[in-house]
Structure formats: structure tokens, C-alpha cells
Amino acid sequence: MQQKKIAIIMGSQSDWPVMRHATTVLDEFGIGYDTAVVSAHRTPDRLYEFAGKAADHYAAIIAGAGGAAHLPGMTAAMTCVPVIAVPVPSKALNGIDSLLSIVQMPRGVAVCTQAIGEPGAYNAGLVAVQILATSDPQLQSRLNAWRAQQTSSVPDEVE
């Protein structure tokens, strides 16, 4: 059985410079992914169609959004596929508005929210790898080695 992919969706093409950082760790682990622009506000029919088919194709969805940032929450409301949210920095409030909008999910609609911007996008990719690794022993082994290498790369003393 072929492993399901990860979806990376964003509310606007202008979110890609941030969201592309999610692909770094996915590429490193050889995890397949699809990308799409899916606006909760401007393309609601596209969102309904995407969310309706998500469980057939994806193990996790990474959703980036700025400003009102409804895309992660609306996606999570329409599918049981885990949604990992990335608040994209906005011009007005540097992503604080995005972060607050995303984390204020009502009880019963879970969204795993990461940090604002590029670090959040990278970590969203890492969470997606961790989700896949729960059912893939080889991937889990590679992830454990990656984490061990990350730990060993930190020096004991200042040089």
C-alpha cells in the first residue's frame, strides 16, 4: 500500500515564500506532498471539494493562512485528517492576528498550531513526518536518527 501524501494548502499564492519551508523536511525524508491555493473566503467551493476528498489522499494537511486566517479551522471542521496550521505573517500585525485567529478554535475542532512564519512552516513539516512515522517503523527509525543527529550537533561548550 502506498503511503498517503501530505497536503500543503494556503489562502493565497503570496503565502508560498513562508509555506515552502514545510517542504524542506518533507523532502529530506522523501515524503510526497501536494500544494494548492485554497482560500476559505475567496474559493469556498474549492475548500469544500478539497476537504471532502482529503481523507482519501492525505495523512495530514498543513494549512497556512494570514489575517483572518480561517483556512486551517474551516478545513479541520470539514475533515478528520489532522490539520497543522501555520500563521502567516500579515502586513498589519506581523502574524499576531493570524496566530490568534487560528488558536481560538472551538471545542471539538482540533487544529495543531505552529509558530508564526518560516519556523512554524518548517515545524509543520516535521509534525507531518512524525504523524506518518507512527504507522511506519522505517520512517520512525529514520526520524529517530535525524533527532539524534540534531542533538549531537549541539556543542557542549562555547568555542
CATH code assigned at 51: 3.40.50.1970
Q: Does residue 157 belong to any structural domain of this protein?
A: no
Q: Does residue 45 belong to any structural domain of this protein?
A: yes
Q: Does residue 87 belong to any structural domain of this protein?
A: yes
Q: What is the mean pLDDT of residues 100-111?
A: 94
More confident residue, 3 or 5: 5
Q: Does residue 90 belong to any structural domain of this protein?
A: yes
Q: Does residue 159 belong to any structural domain of this protein?
A: no
Structural Rg of the chain based on CA atoms: 16
Confirm whether residue 42 is marked as ligand binding.
yes
pLDDT at 66 over 90: yes
β-strand partners of 58: 5
pLDDT at 1 over 50: no
Q: CB atoms < 10 A from the CB of 115, how many?
A: 15
Confirm whether residue 12 is marked as ligand binding.
yes
Strands (E), the chain: 5-10, 33-37, 58-65, 83-87, 112-113
pLDDT at 91 over 90: no
pLDDT at res. 2:
56
Q: Note whether 99 and 116 are within 8 A (CB).
A: yes
Domain range enclosing 115:
5-152
**pTM strictly above 0.85:** yes
Domain count, the chain: 1
Q: What is the mean pLDDT of residues 116-131?
A: 98
Q: Does residue 100 belong to any structural domain of this protein?
A: yes
d(CA 131, CA 153): 24
pLDDT at 156 over 50: yes
Q: Does residue 158 belong to any structural domain of this protein?
A: no
Distances (CA, A) of 22 to 10, 25, 45, 49, 92: 12, 6, 25, 23, 24
